[in-house]
Amino acid sequence: MSAPIQPGSHKFGPDSATLLVRTSRKGAASRAGHDLVIEVTAWSATLEVGEDSAPTTLELDADAGSLRVREGTGGVQKLGDDDKADIQKTIDEEVLLREPIRFRSTAIDAGDDGRVIVTGDLTLVGRTKPIEFGLRVDPEGGIAGTAVVKQSDWGIKPYSALFGALKVNDEVQLELSTG
């Protein structure tokens, strides 16, 4: 890799990294809704790196009850604090059901250009499914990556309102960045 990571165990969490969920909207009434940036505020991850500076395993645990709406763009009206609280309640009670979120890598392939492909098992609402995503290591050792999660693959029905005229897209984007 062009940006080697020191061998050993590297721990990340809210005090050293950011884990975000980005949602978007669709439907005839999509202009009424908001694209959301949601921060996971209670989580931990461990990246194990071998003597050759290549990542060997990645594990992540997150508290599904710790998701907090940080930003809402679009919409007819600005997203207020009451709206954010209502969204959080919906996530807790109807979407993620306060079930633990877990990821365990099954394979990590490091390229020579700082890119890493991570394959593993993601558990949401008690269902475990395989997922693959990319990470990038910058020259200072920072890590950034994104994964796309199709909610329905885990049995999650994407949120809808106004008799289905406003819907959250089935695919949401997860973003991890350190530093």
Look up residue 126 and give its two tokens: 């008690």
Q: CA geometry: angle at 133 spanning 129 and 137, to 5°? A: 145
How confident is the prediction along the chain (179 residues), in pLDDT tens digits per residue?
A: 344 677 888 899 999 999 999 998 876 666 778 889 999 999 999 988 888 777 789 999 999 999 999 999 887 788 899 989 999 999 999 999 999 999 999 999 987 676 889 999 999 999 999 999 998 877 666 789 999 999 999 999 887 777 656 778 899 999 999 86
How many beta carbons lie within 10 A of that of residue 140, not counting itself?
Answer: 8
One-letter amino acid for residue 91 of the chain:
I
Q: Which pLDDT value is given to residue 30?
A: 67
Please report, as a single letter, which amino acid is at residue 33: G
What are the φ and ψ backbone dihedral angles of 31, each rounded to 5 degrees?
-65, -20
Distance (Å, whole) CA 121 – CA 137: 22
Which amino acid makes up residue 96?
A: L
* CB 47, CB 58: distance < 8 Å: yes
For 8-178, which CATH class? Answer: mainly beta
Q: Report d(CA 129, CA 120) in Å as an integer.
A: 8
* Whether the Cβ atoms of residue 102 and residue 123 lie closer than 8 Å to each other: yes
